[in-house]
């Protein structure tokens, strides 16, 4: 499969960062063309840094990247012409209307007038912004501004889109409209790098996912690959009397509202289900969510890296 981004051994140390702490540390990954690639990880993990490097906004301290077949260091201009980006924190220009912002952005990208008009109309429609089209951006709510940015970028003809938390602050209906627009863009064989803290969103949109922690790649693959790599790929919810100690022999147990939650393997999940049935205890089971995987993998990495004295403090 052709590759949209090939990043090898990336290292980024920001100027003045304390004790030369790297925001990216030996990060290598490949983003396939024509799909949605999800970037997940805790605050400060390095997701935005990665996006900004690939979008030619930051220089690297080490490593190499090729974007759409162009070398990042030597062919910055060629890359810029073919990408579009929603930065994590940004606002569209205040003194224009919603319609003007989208239209002028497309014109700036070299799209002709008729096509830019058509794309503007479709994008506003797609994100339910038509009724606000003559409104000044400065008078919009925060979520509507974010939606306007999404419309701009998703209406573009860029081959590679970087969406850094596009749906943060959007209401549930607007979020779903952005998801649909993302899916539509990916059906057009364009590539999307999507950063999000909504793991349901990451999972439902992304063909592949990268979990970044402290500037390093800790897990990468399709959602199914990620499940196959965790210790306990099943989650079992038990509501009723089931001794916790007994459950603990099957895996990891946590307390939840009105019952217990068990993370375990498939055979053990079946065994527990059989016992619950015999004892008339309510139970539901299924594969772990991406959020469970995140908590397990990142939780373990925090435990491993926290010095003992600090952990005990
Ligand atoms: N302009 C900057 N100058 C110095 N350090 C920075 C700068 N931007 C980010 N950092 C540091 O780099 C690291 C990675 O930050 P980054 O913004 O890439 O994380 P992130 O994964 O996008 O986090 P979030 O989920 O909070 O957006 C953090 O330790 C952060 O403090
Ligand atoms: Mg970020």
Tens digits of per-residue pLDDT, 95-115? 899 999 999 999 999 999 999
CB < 8 Å & 24+ apart, contacts of 219-222: 219/293, 219/297, 220/29
* Residue from 10, 11, 13, 14 whose mutation best tests the ligand 1 pocket (most atoms within 8 A of CB): 14
Q: Cβ(43) to ligand 1 under 6 A? A: yes
Question: What would the pLDDT profile of 256-299 be if each residue is shown by its tens digit?
Answer: 888 999 999 999 999 999 999 999 999 999 999 898 888 888 87
300 confidence band (pLDDT: 50, 70, 90): confident
Q: Cβ(280) to ligand 1 under 6 A? A: no
CB < 8 Å & 24+ apart, contacts of 115-120: 119/155, 119/156, 119/157, 120/155
Q: What is the pLDDT of residue 163?
A: 97
User: CB neighbours of 223 closer than 8 A, spacing ≥ 6?
Assistant: 203, 206, 209, 290
Q: Cβ(148) to ligand 1 under 6 A? A: no
- Per-chain mean pLDDT for the chain: 92
Fold of 231-312: Alpha-Beta Plaits (3.30.70)
Question: What would the pLDDT profile of 221-267 be if each residue is shown by its tens digit?
Answer: 999 899 888 889 999 999 988 899 999 999 999 988 889 999 999 99
Radius of gyration of the chain (CA): 23
Tell me whether the CATH fold assigned to 3-227 matches the one assigned to 231-312: no
CATH architecture entry for 3-227: 3-Layer(aba) Sandwich (3.40)
Instruction: Give exposure, 164-185, as e/b (b: 16+ Cβ within 10 Å).
Output: bbbbbebeeebbebbbebbeeb
Q: Distance between CA 2 and CA 251 in Å, rounded? A: 40
The three-state secondary structure class of 10 is strand
Q: What is the pLDDT of residue 10?
A: 97
E strand intervals along 156-270: 160-164, 191-195, 208-213, 216-221, 234-239, 252-256, 259-264
Instruction: Give exposure, 293-306, as e/b (b: 16+ Cβ within 10 Å).
Output: bbebbbeebeeeee
Q: Distance between CA 112 and CA 115 in Å, rounded? A: 6
User: CB neighbours of 282 closer than 8 A, spacing ≥ 6?
Assistant: 238, 239, 240, 259, 276
Q: What is the pLDDT of residue 312?
A: 45
Q: What is the pLDDT of residue 1?
A: 63
Domain regions of the chain by residue span: 3-227, 231-312
Q: Cβ(88) to ligand 1 under 6 A? A: yes
């Amino acid at each position: 499969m052709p590759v949209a981004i090939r990043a090898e051994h990336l290292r980024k140390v920001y100027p003045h960062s304390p004790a030369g702490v790297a925001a990216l540390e030996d990060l290598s990954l490949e983003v396939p063309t024509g799909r949605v690639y999800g970037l997940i990880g805790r605050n400060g993990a390095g997701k935005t840094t990665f996006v900004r490097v690939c979008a030619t906004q930051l220089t690297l301290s080490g490593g190499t990247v090729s974007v759409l077949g162009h070398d990042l260091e030597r062919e910055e201009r060629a890359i810029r012409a073919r990408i579009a980006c929603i930065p994590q924190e940004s606002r569209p220009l205040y003194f224009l209307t919603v319609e003007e912002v989208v239209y002028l952005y497309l014109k700036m990208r070299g799209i002709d007038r008729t096509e830019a008009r058509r794309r503007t109309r479709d994008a506003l429609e797609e994100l339910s912004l038509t009724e606000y089209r003559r409104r000044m951006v400065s008078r919009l709510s925060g979520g509507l501004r974010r939606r306007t940015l999404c419309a701009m970028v998703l209406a573009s003809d860029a081959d590679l889109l970087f969406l850094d938390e596009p749906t943060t602050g959007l209401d549930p209906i607007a979020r779903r409209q952005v998801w649909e627009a993302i899916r539509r863009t990916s059906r057009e064989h364009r590539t999307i790098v999507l950063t999000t803290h909504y793991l349901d969103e990451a999972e439902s949109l992304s063909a592949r996912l990268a979990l970044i922690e402290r500037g390093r790649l800790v897990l990468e693959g399709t959602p199914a690959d990620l499940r196959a790599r965790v210790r306990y790929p099943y989650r079992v919810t038990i509501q009723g009397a089931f001794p916790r100690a007994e459950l603990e022999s099957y895996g990891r147990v946590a307390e939840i509202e009105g019952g217990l939650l068990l993370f375990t393997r498939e055979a053990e999940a079946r065994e527990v289900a059989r016992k619950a049935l015999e004892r008339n205890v309510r139970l539901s089971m299924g594969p772990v969510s991406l959020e469970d995987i995140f908590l397990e993998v990142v939780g373990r990495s925090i435990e491993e890296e926290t010095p003992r004295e600090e952990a005990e403090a």
